[in-house]
């Protein structure tokens, strides 16, 4: 059975203009219209100039780690979170 993959962003949180956190789900979509969850990713995108390019994207293994990272970075950057 043939299928393709599609993704959607469930949540997006921005800390300032340079740091973004996203929860993304990727699904397999089959010919008959059914879907199955392929992956759920918790990602931090950091575009500050002071970091190495390899550190721009960080993946978290769990939602708990992802939430703690948002909390920690918002305190460190002294910024209120904005959910989109």
- The domains of the chain are located at 3-77
CB neighbour list of residue 70: distance below 8 Å, 6 or more residues apart: 13, 15, 21, 81
Sign of CA dihedral 69, 71, 76, 82: positive
For residues 34-53, b (16+ Cβ closer than 10 Å) or e, as one string? Answer: eeeeeeeebbbebeeeeeee
Residue numbers of the chain with a pLDDT score lower than 50: none
* Angle CA 27–58–80, to nearest 5: 100
pLDDT at 78: 76
pLDDT at 79: 62
Give this prediction's pTM: 0.78
CB atoms near residue 63 (< 10 Å):
12
């Amino acid at each position: 059975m043939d299928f393709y993959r599609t993704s959607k962003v469930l949540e997006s949180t921005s800390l300032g203009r340079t740091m973004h956190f996203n929860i993304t789900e990727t699904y397999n979509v089959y010919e008959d219209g059914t879907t199955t969850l392929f992956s759920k990713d918790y990602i931090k995108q950091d575009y500050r100039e002071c970091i190495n390019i390899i550190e721009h994207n960080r993946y978290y293994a769990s939602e708990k780690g992802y939430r703690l990272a948002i909390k920690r970075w918002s305190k460190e950057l002294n910024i209120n979170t904005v959910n989109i």
